[in-house]
Structure 1
Amino acid sequence: MKLRTHQEFANDVLIGLSQSLKWLPSKYIYDRQGSRLFQEIMELPEYYLTRTEIKILESRKKQICKEIEDEEFNLIELGCGDGKKTKILLEQFLKNDHRFHYFPIDISEDSISEFTDSLKKEFPKLKARGLVSEYFEGLYWLSEQNHRRNVVLFLGSNIGNFTPIKAGGFLSSLWKALNNNDLVLIGFDLKKDTDMMVKAYNDEKGITAAFNKNLLIRINRELKGNFDLDQFEFYATYDVVEGAIQSYLISKKKQEVFIGELKWLFSLRAQEPIHTESSYKYLIEEVEDMANKNNFKLVGNFFDSNKYFVDSLWKVVK
């Protein structure tokens, strides 16, 4: 099922670059090359998030699985990536003889294809079907196909890519798309030492910079743009008021960029930033408050030993 269109990409780029404070949606970084670069980022010593969440899932997988009653269910993942973390839970579910169907949802067709191929090799008995779509399009499509209980995974601190207001809207929409007693397991990166957080998004090797610039490469390739990557500098900082890492591509000089598919010429000033990504961090009290405000019941919090990260399990209450 492929719901994402080329036109959506073009429209989002047009809207973002037409603003006085220019921005580009980070979700479009994740084509084949972007996904490969992100795999490299996750292996970096500075990038603590993935290692920390893996430790949580490995140490708490039995407890997480016990929270799901012995009934057939849909295991739905919003954004699959390489699936390294998910496979920890899949293995445990299969070991416990849980009856479930796995549906990873991602806008990257390459990610879905590579991931589902690896699943077939590692878990030949697993019932899995990848969906190439926006999250809620996939969820509503699934709700029309069957009436099994849903267990939704939103791991990797992906919720942090939303502003708090948009995160609330996302969770409200998620609640509406699900049924009473459905479960949601969400990963949150918790607030900690600012230097540690910034280094995770601005590594010494420059892989995160290449990751962000991949968005410009994709615009050049798919929308016939003429961005000169050498004329943009990557910059990441922690906004203590917003509680977020903010990432930008900064124009090194006054320049113009033409995007053929849009038939539009964009002007940039010297040192003008293009916002590419936000990564919001939370206090555990903010996580629990977010659950309550959006009509979820907190089932449990699963931390690492340093409390750098939490996977929080919520139940839908209607």
Structure 2
Amino acid sequence: MNRNFQKDIDLGLSAKNKTLPSKYFYDEIGDALFVEIMNMPEYYLTNAEFDIFKNQNQELIKALKLEKNTFFELVELGAGDGTKTKQLLKTLNDQNYNFKYVPIDISENALNQLKKSITKELPTVQIHPKQGDYFNVLSGLQTSNHPIIVLFLGSNIGNLTDERANDFIQKLDYNLKKEDKVLLGVDLIKPKSVVLPAYNDAQGITKRFNLNLLTRINKELNANFDVNTFDHQPEYNEEEGVARSYLVSTKDQKVLVKGLDKTFTFQKGEKIHMETSRKYNDLILNGILAGSSLKIIDRLTDSQHLFADYILEKY
């Protein structure tokens, strides 16, 4: 049994305002569902960032100050299926840049699939996948004499509260050397009419993605969640610039989690907070970077200005 999973689920369901960590969405079923989400017409985030990687990869290379005669390590946090990153890898490879690609992900399944696809599509690219916690892996790279470029794409940082995002940036800063860089993908603040459908698609894929975590708890912690008694409820506050996803109990019920030796009570209408998705602008991001040595040196947006890839450098 995964002790961290056990502990985190216990803490989340025992809280006054129940919550479940979004990092546990990604088992084998969750990985497949998220690929479906990225291909949904409503989910603009993937297409918008893909637009940048496909059509502005030379601009990305210039903004990152990459040089062909200097070996560097391209480290991606939460690499997933690598669809966007492959656009950059191909260009770097075709233009004879000297580098290795180090994808880091909590999902071993995702890394295995990624390594297979990179080996097939870009066989001359050096790939060294590492499974585990971002910072445990990054700390192992601290002794590297080579420049490190960290990719943190897909607005994954938006899943953190501002306080936790600032903490994340401090840890990232600590694990990097002077002149190392970060390519940080963030979703920009925009109207509710654009944002909300991305988390509430017509096909119900996002709902299945969220409910799959209850199924995972049933399987791994021997629980008896009835997923049919929970609804998916996304919310977006345009003024605040934060989208939140909840599962809501449709009735009064009790759920036994044998792996925790506990029973949890849910009232009708009670929410489980599943995920936060913060939207950004320059002001908000500079607040997140406060106290770190990471500074914004460039910013690229897609053709519709929905999404931005910020280039940060450690000073």
- Specify the TM-score bucket, using the shorter chain as the normaliser: over 0.9
Alignment equivalent of 1:69, drawn from 62, 67, 70: 67
Matching residue within 54, 59, 63 for 1:58: 54
Partner of 2:214: 216
Residue 251 of structure 2 aligns to which amino acid in structure 1? K
- Give 1:289 deviation, angstroms: 4.5
Query: Which residue in 2 is equivalent to 1:34?
Result: 30
Q: Aligned partner of 1:277: which letter?
A: E
TM superposition score normalised by structure 2: 0.96
Contact 1:251 1:271 in 2 (8 A): yes
- Give the corresponding residue for 1:130: 129
Check the 8 A contact 2:159/2:275 in 1, yes or no: yes
Aligned partner of 2:16 among 1, 20, 41: 20
Q: How far is 1:100 from its partner?
A: 0.9
RMSD: 1.3
Q: How far did residue 50 of structure 1 move? A: 0.4
Mapping 1:1-318, distance limit 5 Å:
6-66=2-62, 67-70=65-68, 71-144=70-143, 146-240=144-238, 242-291=240-289, 293-317=291-315
Q: Contact conserved, 2:192 with 2:237, CA < 8 A, in 1?
A: no
Would you identify which runs of 4 or more consecutive aligned residues in structure 1 move more than 4 Å?
none
Moved more, 58-67 or 147-156: 58-67
When residues 290 and 68 of structure 1 are mapped into structure 2, their CA distance, relative to the original with a 3 A threshold, is farther
Segments of 5+ residues of structure 1 without an aligned counterpart are none
Q: Kindly, what percent of the aligned residue pairs are identical? A: 40
Q: What is the CA distance between 1:294 and its match in structure 2?
A: 2.4
Q: CA deviation at 1:97?
A: 1.1
Does the CA-based 8 Å contact 1:23-1:276 persist in structure 2? yes
Contact conserved, 2:159 with 2:278, CA < 8 A, in 1? Answer: yes
Report if the CA contact (8 A) 2:166-2:288 is conserved. Answer: yes
Offset, 1:291: 3.8
8 Å CA contact 2:251, 2:269 repeated in 1: yes
Contact 1:225 1:257 in 2 (8 A): yes
Paired residue type of 2:25: I
Contact 2:13 2:19 (8 Å CA) reproduced: yes
Structure 1: distance between partners of 2:218 and 2:77:
28
Instruction: Please give the alpha-carbon distance, in whole angstroms, between the structure 2 residues aligned to 1:298 and 1:292.
Output: 11
Cα distance in 2, alignment partners of residues 50 and 283 from structure 1: 18
State how many pairs are aligned: 312
Between the aligned partners of 1:300 and 1:100, the Cα distance in structure 2 is 22
Please say which of residues 60-69 and 80-89 is displaced more in the overlay: 60-69
Contact 1:65–1:92 (CA<8 Å) still a contact in 2? no
Q: Which amino acid aligns with 2:228?
A: D
Asked if 2 retains the 8 angstrom alpha-carbon contact of 1:291 and 1:314, the reply is: no
Which consecutive unaligned segments of at least 5 residues does structure 2 have?
A: none
Task: Tell me the distance in 1 between the aligned counterparts of 2:225 and 2:176.
Answer: 42
1:69-102 C-alpha deviation (Å, 9 max, x unpaired): 3311111000011100010110111112111111
Residue type at the aligned position of 2:216: R
